[in-house]
Amino acid sequence: MKFVFTLIEIKEIVISTIVLSVAFALAFSDGIFNLNILKLPMLVIFSFIAVGIGFLAHELIGHKLVSQHYEIHAEYRLWKTGLAIAIAFSMFGVVFAAPGAVMIYQGTDLWGNTLPLSKKRYGIISIAGPVTNIIIATVFLAANSFYASALFTFAAQVNIWLAIFNMLPVPPLDGSKVFAWDKRIWLGFFAVCIAMFAALIYL
């Protein structure tokens, strides 16, 4: 199956990326009530780069590409409530990173019968997004070891946080599907995410 997009999907991806980028910038500025005006412009630029890479890769390369690899139709849809919550929480220095999701539509056979989507396949599609974020974070951390940069550290933080948040075993987050598929895989990967986050604190 080709890696295709619809016009409404592209529009909703752009909107979600912008809103989530603003949310991260506000949160890393210590929220609206302790806003550092001098720091905010740089954080906005950093956030658009980090979120633009991390969020798009999570949803499109992670979820959508893997779904279409299995010949399952998948389209991104924004979640208006999630976008509003993301902005609201960011005012208090916290990021609620669930602006939308890639919706998976089960395939049909020659007779029009719906083909069941196994827990394993659903789990693989779900974990692909957070795995993508961890890979991206690792790349930024490696780059930071060669050339120390606030941007590289920030981008790593954003991607690790996206992975941790989405791996929480709470519906409709990715972690709930992975947990339902294989609790050992969920626990192992979640532990890796937490370990990377803890290590990042000391950078």
Give pLDDT tens digits for 89-143. 988 888 888 888 888 776 665 566 666 678 898 899 999 999 999 999 999 999 9
CA 84, chain centre distance (Å): 17
Query: Quick one: pLDDT at residue 92?
Result: 84
Q: CA nearest 124: which of 73, 195, 169, 70?
A: 70
Residue indicated by tokens 């890769």: 57
- Location of structure tokens 């690790």: 160
147-181 pLDDT per residue, tens: 989 899 999 999 999 999 999 999 888 999 999 99
Instruction: Identify the band that residue 26 occupies on the pLDDT scale cut at 50, 70 and 90.
Output: confident
Q: Check 9, 59, 71, 75 and give the catalytic one.
A: 59
pLDDT value at residue 70: 79
pLDDT in tens, 45-59: 999 999 999 999 998
pLDDT, position 80? 92
Model pLDDT, residue 75: 85
Res 190 pLDDT > 60? yes
Catalytic site includes residue 59:
yes
Check: CB of residue 47 under 8 Å from CB of residue 25. Answer: yes
pLDDT at 37 over 80: no
For the whole prediction, is pTM greater than 0.85? yes
Cα separation of 22 and 145, whole Å? 27
* pLDDT at site 28: 81
Contacts of 11 (CB under 8 A, 6+ apart): none
The predicted structure's pLDDT at residue 54: 93
Q: Is the dihedral of CA 186, 58, 30, 201 positive or negative?
A: positive
At residue 78, φ and ψ (nearest 5 deg) are -75, 160
Q: What is the pLDDT of residue 7?
A: 85
